[in-house]
Structure 1
Amino acid sequence: MNPSTGGNYDLKYAKRAMMVVVFLPLLVMYTEAMLTPALPTIQREFAINPNDVSWVLTIYLLVGTVSVALLGKLGDMYGKKRMFLIALTFYTVGVVLNGFAPSFRWLLVTRAIQGFGMAIFPLAFALVREEFPPEMVPQVQGMISAMFAVGMVIALPLGAWVTQNWGWRWTYHSAAPFAIVMFFLAWKVLRESRYINPGKVDWVGAVLLTIAVVPALVAVTRAPNVGWTAKETLALFVVALFGTVLLVFWERNVENPIIPLDIITAKNPAIVNLGIMFAAFGISMMSQANAYIFQMPSPYGFGKTVLASGLLMTPMALVMLVVAPIAGKVMPKVGTKPIALGGALTASAGLGILSAYAPKLPPEHLWAFVGLITLVGTGITLMNISLINVLVFSVPPRVMGVATGANSLFRNFGSTWGPAIAGTIMSTYYVLFHPPGAPLWVKIKIPSTEAYEVLFGMAALIYLFLALTILKIDEVMKGGRIREVNEYGKADTSSS
């Protein structure tokens, strides 16, 4: 079959490409999940507070939020493989440099470089959609989601062990060779995308997007330190609002917009983008809370080592590893809405229980806590895999890069708000703690059980809200038949 023909699929090549794309989340989760258990260690090494250490996560998302939209659009215009390799280069350079950062500021700079590479995911999702028959796409997306879980299974205990025995810097040193190997595999195996839309780059739109997004995210990140009503915070929000208004006006009238409003505001994409944004907000709050509740001393946490914390997070990843491919396999018959709805309600219920019993969990009920976060992770996995399939079958393939890029933009926006809100809550509800071996006058703030109660409660309400929005989605597959939007923007139906 001719791989350049829109209606035909070269399955031999598609399977080779799948091996590259499927191992991509393994690399990223290996890198990012290893960082999570190390956050308290980084905080102690650089003598910073929980709000400051959240910048390690935030700066990566801050830069990535703009890069996913820009490189996603450029991928549609100049080829997704080309932009994928450029993004992967940034990611690899950032990973290599992170482990050598001599100060906290340098670590933020190198994490920003790594953030430019975040566009690898939307570009990879777009390539998957192009190279596989529609009925196989949910299965491939399920495998990709499963590899996120594999990355967590490997990275959480390994990263915790490396941090505890060799220091957090070696989490990056150990990841760097895999990033380099991934680059050469992608360069060797992947073909250029079959859908290319030549045109002028909307550089004005890119600048306006930056003005709309970056000040808002900086304001959110700094607000826990300087105050949400401080003049600096309010000024940044005003600039972001002004940039957003200008961006919308410009994108409505420009010939080749970087953010096609008609694509991202269509019913299904709009619901998916909103859902992914709030889901990312909820899970990032939960993840930061988990890292602290495992390691903080009793009665404010379980008092576990970094290594033990990583091991205790692996059951959640193992269950996700099993659930994701099964969901991808049954989805064409069952439909995306029931799976997404069940996932959102499951996550909401688990988080609600965590919120209600957060003050009573440490230190006796460790395994109850592990079981509940595993339940929550299962629900989030089901919802996420459903929503990405709704998106890729709701937009034409010729604009898949910008659609998945915009989706990643919303995801990153939610992920940036999450650590900031979590940092604010943990700095609001705290107790003063004297670290063993430190001078008597040294005391640090650690989150109280009330902080976890608020964090988990907020996340529970978010996923309940998402369950209601999922009801409004137009189903894209059911009974073995897939409703997709073709390259001309019209709905089409194919049988699996």
Structure 2
Amino acid sequence: MEATKNMEYDLAYAKRAMLVVVLLFGKLGDMYGKKKMFLIALGFYTTGVILNGFAPSFQWLLVTRAVQGFGMAIFPLAFSLVREEFPPKMVPQVQGMISAMFGVGMVIALPLGAWVTQNWGWRWTYHSAAPFAVLMFFLAWKVLRESRYINPGKVDWVGTVLLAFAVVPMLVGVTRAPEVGWTARETLVLFSVTVVSALLFVLWEKGAENPLVPIGIISTRNPAIVNVGIMFAAFGISMMSQANTYIFQMMPPYGFGKTILQSGLLMTPMALVMLIVAPIAGKLLPKVGAKPVALTGALTASVGLGILAKYAPQLPPDHLWAFVGLITLVGTGINLMNISLINVLVFSVPPRAMGVATGANSLFRNFGSTWGPAIASTIMSTYYILFHPPGAPPGVQIKIPTTKAYEVLFGTSAVVFLLLALLILAIREVMKGGRIHGVENEGEKDVLA
């Protein structure tokens, strides 16, 4: 068990070490063309997926996973290209369609990936995905048009290095803290390196000729609120997902006793609802405004999580579909909020800085998704009982989270989304009544939808 945990940590480090690359690729997209950098990032992703399935050892798998990690940059670059290549009135709908595709991916990947792994092993998970990655690269190369906005300049390598020292130690420290302790020397050293590097990074960026992150842009009201909102949304959903995994797979009376494949299938209703809700939300945004939709989403998620905090401990093993319905409600709310916030972001920054703005947003999202499981693991390690599995040798016991752990997990997530609802109230509306108010390079002007 300990060896498995260490392998999971190492794979997580290989992926998280690439997070700074997401922001760098966004900046390079602004400088040299977003299609060009999209294809380079997608090329890394495709190569990594192919090599993963042939890794001869775990050490090589770390390397190939790191190569795949460069491909994470495709997401902010894709959002940037949508903002540039589509008329303003279509951007919310297209962003909604992209979010819907995440739902489609979940519907297919969760049960199918579990089924492939259980029957043919983890290598075939990558082998089966490789042809689709190659096809995606070919289609992107043939179909996408190059960005119209180019902002050439020198690469801020000093800022990149400082950001790496600010981000990577923090992510590693957060991931390791539940195991080694939040006050352990290793954790405190990593966090100290992060704080010092972050301060130096901000100071450097303020005086840099062509900064990696334009502090003046991402610190304005809407981008700052969106980044914080996305970070805490990822934090809340990650905490909920951690609890869901235990509740689905723990044996009764502690959970529903489902297999990995069954757990994946039970997650598909949430993904299917996202597939339906996302395009509808994208179509409604220009008419009703991004702020009301985001607010509705945050409050919906908060209410659903509040109900889970009160009743989830009593759900297993007799109320499976009630639990599935509640997490589907929460997923719908989060989806509404995410679609609204990404549209607020892309219409609140100038096109010439779109790549770095969406890259920074992805970085904040990953901050939240890293902190969520770490805090969830700490909570479940605080509230637990010891259980002796039937047939296990004498003295062998495992930790089972208590009902208090789930109450704290879901309750904390509910509070997070309630606070996000209050934060959303401070957003400056970018669309309403059929008009989109986009920020252009020379200032703000209304764009007729």
TM over 0.5: yes
C-alpha separation between the residues in 2 aligned to 1:165 and 1:295?
19
- Higher mean alpha-carbon deviation, 375-384 vs 455-464, is at 455-464
Specify whether residues 365 and 103 from structure 1 end up closer, same or farther in structure 2 by C-alpha distance, changes over 3 A only: farther
Indicate if the aligned counterparts of 2:155 and 2:212 stay in contact, CA closer than 8 A.
yes
Correspondence list, 1:31-70, <5 A: 47-49=3-5, 52=6, 55=9, 58-59=12-13, 62-70=16-24
Which residue is 1:201 aligned to? Answer: 155
Specify whether residues 286 and 170 from structure 1 end up closer, same or farther in structure 2 by C-alpha distance, changes over 3 A only: farther
Indicate if the aligned counterparts of 1:359 and 1:453 stay in contact, CA closer than 8 A.
yes
Which residue is 2:132 aligned to? Answer: 178
- Higher mean alpha-carbon deviation, 431-440 vs 244-253, is at 431-440
C-alpha separation between the residues in 1 aligned to 2:391 and 2:311?
32
- Any idea what the Cα deviations from partners look like across 1:420-453, whole Å, max 9, x if unmatched? 2222223333344455665555444343433322
Specify whether residues 179 and 435 from structure 1 end up closer, same or farther in structure 2 by C-alpha distance, changes over 3 A only: farther
What's the CA shift for 1:284? Answer: 1.5
Select the residue among 300, 303, 310 that pairs with 2:254.
300
Which residue is 2:308 aligned to? Answer: 354
Q: 2:349 aligned with 1:390, yes or no?
A: no
Instruction: Name the aligned partner's letter for residue 286 of structure 1.
Output: M
Indicate if the aligned counterparts of 2:30 and 2:150 stay in contact, CA closer than 8 A.
yes
Indicate if the aligned counterparts of 1:73 and 1:401 stay in contact, CA closer than 8 A.
yes
Instruction: Name the aligned partner's letter for residue 428 of structure 2.
Output: D
Correspondence list, 1:106-117, <5 A: 106-117=60-71
Q: Taking structure 2 as the reference length, what is the TM-score of the superposition? A: 0.95
C-alpha separation between the residues in 2 aligned to 1:299 and 1:106?
41
Indicate if the aligned counterparts of 1:55 and 1:108 stay in contact, CA closer than 8 A.
no
Which residue is 1:491 aligned to? Answer: 444
- Higher mean alpha-carbon deviation, 417-426 vs 460-469, is at 417-426
Which residue is 2:407 aligned to? Answer: 453
Correspondence list, 1:312-461, <5 A: 312-434=266-388, 439-440=393-394, 442-461=396-415
What's the CA shift for 1:97? Answer: 3.1
- Any idea what the Cα deviations from partners look like across 1:43-89, whole Å, max 9, x if unmatched? x6x8534xx57637743652342111111001111111111112112
Which residue is 1:24 aligned to? Answer: none
Which residue is 1:134 aligned to? Answer: 88
What's the CA shift for 1:136? Answer: 0.5
Instruction: Name the aligned partner's letter for residue 241 of structure 1.
Output: V
Instruction: Name the aligned partner's letter for residue 302 of structure 1.
Output: F
Query: Which structure 1 segments of 5+ residues have no match?
Result: 1-43
- Any idea what the Cα deviations from partners look like across 1:299-358, whole Å, max 9, x if unmatched? 221101122111111111111111000000011000000000000000011111111122
Select the residue among 124, 138, 160 that pairs with 2:78.
124
Q: 2:226 aligned with 1:272, yes or no?
A: yes
SS in 2 for 1:469: helix
Indicate if the aligned counterparts of 1:340 and 1:386 stay in contact, CA closer than 8 A.
yes
What's the CA shift for 1:148? Answer: 0.7
What's the CA shift for 1:491? Answer: 1.0
Specify whether residues 431 and 114 from structure 1 end up closer, same or farther in structure 2 by C-alpha distance, changes over 3 A only: farther
Specify whether residues 433 and 187 from structure 1 end up closer, same or farther in structure 2 by C-alpha distance, changes over 3 A only: farther
C-alpha separation between the residues in 2 aligned to 1:215 and 1:124?
28
Q: 2:4 aligned with 1:71, yes or no?
A: no
Select the residue among 412, 422, 428 that pairs with 1:468.
422
- Any idea what the Cα deviations from partners look like across 1:357-408, whole Å, max 9, x if unmatched? 2221111111111000000000000000000000000011111001111111
C-alpha separation between the residues in 2 aligned to 1:145 and 1:418?
21
Specify whether residues 150 and 60 from structure 1 end up closer, same or farther in structure 2 by C-alpha distance, changes over 3 A only: farther
C-alpha separation between the residues in 1 aligned to 2:390 and 2:57?
25
Indicate if the aligned counterparts of 2:15 and 2:65 stay in contact, CA closer than 8 A.
no
C-alpha separation between the residues in 1 aligned to 2:397 and 2:63?
29
Q: 2:198 aligned with 1:212, yes or no?
A: no
Indicate if the aligned counterparts of 2:76 and 2:358 stay in contact, CA closer than 8 A.
yes
C-alpha separation between the residues in 1 aligned to 2:419 and 2:10?
29
C-alpha separation between the residues in 2 aligned to 1:59 and 1:330?
40
Which residue is 1:249 aligned to? Answer: 203
C-alpha separation between the residues in 2 aligned to 1:445 and 1:53?
20
- Higher mean alpha-carbon deviation, 357-366 vs 238-247, is at 357-366
Specify whether residues 373 and 107 from structure 1 end up closer, same or farther in structure 2 by C-alpha distance, changes over 3 A only: farther
Correspondence list, 1:89-100, <5 A: 89-100=43-54
Select the residue among 164, 168, 193 that pairs with 2:122.
168
C-alpha separation between the residues in 2 aligned to 1:287 and 1:93?
29
C-alpha separation between the residues in 2 aligned to 1:484 and 1:53?
46
Specify whether residues 435 and 149 from structure 1 end up closer, same or farther in structure 2 by C-alpha distance, changes over 3 A only: same
Select the residue among 239, 252, 260 that pairs with 2:193.
239
Specify whether residues 149 and 60 from structure 1 end up closer, same or farther in structure 2 by C-alpha distance, changes over 3 A only: farther
Quick one: percent identity of the two aligned structures?
A: 77
Indicate if the aligned counterparts of 2:305 and 2:330 stay in contact, CA closer than 8 A.
yes
C-alpha separation between the residues in 2 aligned to 1:246 and 1:47?
37
Specify whether residues 448 and 90 from structure 1 end up closer, same or farther in structure 2 by C-alpha distance, changes over 3 A only: farther
C-alpha separation between the residues in 2 aligned to 1:161 and 1:331?
38
Which residue is 1:155 aligned to? Answer: 109
Indicate if the aligned counterparts of 1:64 and 1:412 stay in contact, CA closer than 8 A.
no
Specify whether residues 386 and 308 from structure 1 end up closer, same or farther in structure 2 by C-alpha distance, changes over 3 A only: same
SS in 2 for 1:48: helix
Kindly report the root-mean-square deviation, in angstroms, between the aligned alpha carbons of the 2 structures: 1.9
Which residue is 1:5 aligned to? Answer: none
C-alpha separation between the residues in 2 aligned to 1:77 and 1:494?
25
Query: Which structure 2 segments of 5+ residues have no match?
Result: none
C-alpha separation between the residues in 1 aligned to 2:250 and 2:61?
24
SS in 1 for 2:90: helix
Indicate if the aligned counterparts of 2:14 and 2:63 stay in contact, CA closer than 8 A.
no
C-alpha separation between the residues in 2 aligned to 1:95 and 1:440?
43
- Higher mean alpha-carbon deviation, 186-195 vs 237-246, is at 186-195
Q: Taking structure 1 as the reference length, what is the TM-score of the superposition? A: 0.86
Aligned length: 449
